[in-house]
Every structure is written in C-alpha cells, then in structure tokens.
Amino acid sequence: MAELLEVDRLRVRFRALTPLAARLAGVRDPMIDAVADVSLSIPEGGAFGLVGESGSGKTTLGRAIMGLAPVWSGAIHLGGAALPKHGTALKTWRRHVAMTFQDPTGSLSPRLTVRALLTEPFRIHGMASRNLDAEARRLISLVGLATDFLDRYPHELSGGQARRVGIARALALEPRLLIADEPTAGLDVSVQGEVLNLLARLRGELGIALLLITHNLAAVRLSAEQLGVMYMGRLVETGTTAAVFRGAAHPYTAALLAAIPIADPTRDRERAVAGEVPSLMNRPAGCEFHTRCPRAEARCRAETPEPREIAPGHTARCHFPLSR
Ligand code: SF4
C-alpha cells in the first residue's frame, strides 16, 4: 500500500525559558526537544497508534503534522508533498489533515450551535457557497447523531456526543488523514468503545488514515495496525500492534503493557510506570529511560541506544531488548 504520511527524522524544538529566566537558573541551553528524531509512516487508509505517558511528545508530534508546531529539522510529507511553511499552501494542507483535540467541549466554541460548528470549516476555506445545511446534516449523521443535535450548543452535549461533533467537524472537508488526540480520555468505558467503533467505521467508509494519539494501549490494540511508543520525545519502540502486544522489546513498552488491567482492558491508565519522567531540559546521558528502567546496566548510562531491528518491521531503542 502507498504511504500517505511520511515523517522523517523530525525534531520539534521550543524555547522553554526566557533569556532572563535561563540566566537566573544558570541554564545554558533554554531550548527543549519536544520531538526528537522521530520517523514514522502511515499508508493510505492505515492506522498508527502513538502511545506514551503525558508529556512524551505525542500531541506535539500531531500538532507538527498539522503545521501547528515549529519544525526544527526533518521532514513531513503527505502524499509525497512536503509540509508547507505558511500561506495558502498550508491552508490547503489542513484540508487534507484534520485533528480532533483532547478536550472536545473546550475546543468547541460555546457560542456556536453544532450546525455553525460543523459548517465553519467551509466558511474558513472559502467554500460557503456549498449547501451548508445539507453538509451539516451529512456530517451529523456520519457520526451517528440525530439531526436535532444541530441546534444544540456544546454545553448541551455529553462527553461522547461532544467527541462525535468534534470528529464530524474534523471530517467536514474530507481529509485524507485524521489525527485523533486522546479520543477516549475522560469517557466511560462503554462510551470509549463507541468512539473507537465510530473511528473504525469511518476509516472503513471514508478510506481515511488515522493517527491515534493516546495513553490507552488497549485502544490502540482495538484500532490501529501499527504502534509507536514515545518517551521523552523519541520513538523507543515501533512495530505492528500484534507483534508489540505479542512481545514488547523495550522495557518501557513492557511496563505500559503490564499496567493494562486484564479485567477492564479499556480503562485508562496514566501513571503506569514507576518513577518520574526526567526534565526535557536535563535529559539523562545514555539511554534516557535508564533512570526508571529495572534492567539498566552501566552501558545504559553511558551509551545512547540507536533503534535496532528486533524482527522485520519491529524496532526498539534498547541495548538489552527483552527476548521474544
Ligand atoms: Fe533499559 Fe538499558 Fe534498554 Fe535503556 S538501554 S531501556 S536502560 S535496558
């Protein structure tokens, strides 16, 4: 299958401190790499699950693909075309790549009805001459809500309904890639399942590709063929979801997997791994996971592991990958 999205050695850098704050704190480099050397690809119609704890860089990576975060180096291509830096070309890019945000109610303007929210993308992109009422009806039924929801305001929606409206709005301009940022967070287990089923149905019906950003590994298992695990802005393990669930190679992935409760597989687990994530301003030497890794040895503290192939298509950044 042809690749739709290709991310190649992407680095996203932010200034974490003002020059004065950096001087006062004695920090020489006030920049942080929120995304460091990340490469991944998603085929047309494929799904990639990106997992990791809060602050691992997942959302920043999603925002970079939308052209909303500063790309320091590396490249992002969609259908062979490079991410434009600005202007009309970037606006066109955002017709092809859409994103739903973590807080669905907060990301929907409270003063707009669902009808106005769903038709706003057409106005923004100079397509207001379309039959907007028909488009609103098409979109609301696409996500399984009745047309009388079009006259409601965001505060009149439940968490699951707001999530559906956010997805409908993201799909308004018929994107080729949907980036769903934590689509199940904060929802009851049964509603989480409904949202994941909706995303699966939409992928099948529309042929869109999906980048699923979540700390819920069980959601990835249900929804994505490929999996990437992020830690401190790096992908530490990638592979097919089936292969990673069969035998995680990186101790971080193994710890995340071990934390999925068997009796309640869709339950969110945030603090799955013991210990604190180090500051991005003070990355540990060697393997950045060594401060939390139960398998760390002297080599881990001295030498940065490069991605190594565990099996075809399955890689891990670890000197001592777990045996399969
Ligand atoms: Fe753990 Fe060492 Fe592998 Fe890092 S390189 S994950 S510290 S075993």
Check if 251 has its Cβ closer than 6 Å to any atom of ligand 1: yes
Would you say residue 222 has pLDDT above 50? yes
Confidence class for position 259, pLDDT limits 50, 70, 90: confident
**Strands 71-78 and 3-15, bridge-based pairing:** antiparallel
Which atom of ligand 1 is nearest the CA belonging to 287?
4
pLDDT of residue 201: 96
**Ligand 1 pocket, residue 195 CB under 6 Å:** no
- Does residue 144 carry a pLDDT above 90? yes
What pLDDT is recorded for position 272?
63
Structure tokens given for 244? 């990673």
Residue 104 sits at φ, ψ, to 5 deg, of -65, -40
Helices and strands in the chain: count of H runs, count of E runs? 12, 12
Between residues 66 and 281, which one has the greater pLDDT?
Answer: 66
Atom of ligand 1 nearest to the CA of 294: 1
Task: Please give the residue that has the higher pLDDT: either 108 or 67.
Answer: 67
The mean pLDDT value of the chain amounts to 91
Ranges 14-23, 74-83, 119-128: which has the least confidence: 14-23
231 lines ligand 1 (CB under 6 A): no
List the structure tokens of 1.
Answer: 């299958």
State the pLDDT at residue 268: 46
pLDDT at 260: 73
- Measured from the Cβ of residue 40, the count of other Cβ atoms closer than 10 Å reads 18
Span from the CA of 299 to the centroid of ligand 1 (angstroms): 9
The answer to whether residue 324 scores a pLDDT higher than 80 is no
Helix (H) or strand (E) holding 245: helix 241-246
- Report the nearest atom of ligand 1 relative to the CA of 305: 5
Distance 253 CA to ligand 1 centre (A): 11
Please compute the mean of the pLDDT values over residues 282-286 and round it to a whole number: 91
Residue pair 149/79 in contact (Cβ under 8 Å)? The answer is: no
Residue with tokens 């992908």: 235
pLDDT in tens, 163-184: 999 999 999 999 999 999 999 9
Cα dist. 304→72, 307, 310, 315, 319 in Å?
21, 10, 17, 15, 9
- pLDDT value, residue 263: 44
**Contact present, 169 and 109 (Cβ < 8 Å):** no
Which amino acid residue places its CA nearest to atom 6 of ligand 1? 318
Taking the alpha carbons of 15, 280, 310, 241 in that order, is the dihedral positive or negative? negative
Distances, alpha carbon 272 to alpha carbons 90, 167, 257, in Å: 38, 28, 9
CB-ligand 1 contact for 296 (6 Å cutoff): yes
* Burial class of 239 by CB neighbour count within 10 A (0 to 12, 13 to 18, 19+): buried
The CB of 320 under 6 Å from ligand 1? The reply is yes
Confidence band (pLDDT; 50, 70, 90) for 81?
very high
Asked if 45 contacts 209 with a C-beta cutoff of 8 angstroms, the reply is yes
pLDDT at 249: 96
Cα 171 to Cα 159: distance, rounded to the nearest angstrom: 19
pLDDT at 269: 46
